[in-house]
Amino acid sequence: MKEVKLDSFEQAIEDAAEQSVPLEGKEKERLDSTLAEIRRNKNKSINIRISQYDLDRVKERSQREGVPYQTLISSVLHRYLEGTLVDEDAVLKAARLLKE
């Protein structure tokens, strides 16, 4: 079998793996709790009704953005809910008004 040469980073990972020990007690409970939270928060699939016109526009925009259209829809919804969705036209209008 051919011997594999590890660089220093890879060797550090190998060394750490050899020294690892299973978690017990509170550390294991904390990790289990964290993993359970991650599982609860995973993405969910939904069905929505959307007009063909809007869907076509979303698909066109997603192609320009270089992302799948479902990802674009999810991103827009998330930004809206977080209060970070920006209406570019409104921003440009406000900037013009400020210049006057």
pTM: 0.52
Q: For residue range 20-32, what is the model confidence (pLDDT) as tens digits?
A: 777 788 888 888 8
Q: How many CB atoms lie within 10 A of CB 13?
A: 11
Cα–Cα distance measured from residue 82 to residue 9, given in angstroms and rounded to the nearest whole number: 38
Joined together, the tokens standing for residue 35 give: 């993993």
Q: What would the mean pLDDT of 65-70 be, rounded to a whole number? A: 91
Cα–Cα distance measured from residue 79 to residue 35, given in angstroms and rounded to the nearest whole number: 25
- Sequence-distant (6+) residues with CB within 8 A of 83 are none
* pLDDT score at 1: 63
Q: Taking all residues of the chain, what is their mean pLDDT, rounded to a whole number?
A: 86
pLDDT-wise least confident of 17-21, 60-64, 69-73, 78-82 = 17-21
Domain boundaries, the chain: 69-100
